[in-house]
Structure 1
Amino acid sequence: MKAKVGDRLVLEGTHVGDPRRYGVVIGLKHGDGSPPYVVRWLDTGHEALVFPGPDSRVEAHTTT
């Protein structure tokens, strides 16, 4: 998994009824884009260092 600042991190709920979470990558700890990432969660605005698991994916940021 590789990300760039501005990409979206999507975490699927791990249990039945858990919501999908969306965050924006606001910082990288490694120059090659590998985890962990500093993420701002869109639902709470909380910023956290995230080590994404197998239930997550990165969606590339696109500009229009």
Structure 2
Amino acid sequence: MTHTVPMTANVPQALLDRLTSLAERTGRSSEECLVQAIGEFCDTWEDYHKTVDQLLREDDRRLLRVANT
């Protein structure tokens, strides 16, 4: 089992209402939905920064040029 720690966050009421509604609709707890959302956020932004870092390190990037007609 994964070790968990408590976390507190202030969210707009409308966002909490959406989360609660989706949790009920999917048969999951709000906590499960939050953990999934945070995980997906981290995955997305880690991939983004990894890609940007890779692009910045490439010395021989290929450039496409438009020929003058």
* TM-score range normalised by the length of the shorter chain: under 0.3
Higher percent of residues as strand: 1
Higher percent of residues as helix: 2
The TM-score normalised by the length of structure 1 is: 0.17
RCO comparison, higher one (Cα < 8 Å, 6+) = 1
The TM-score normalised by the length of structure 2 is: 0.17
Say which one has the larger Rg.
2
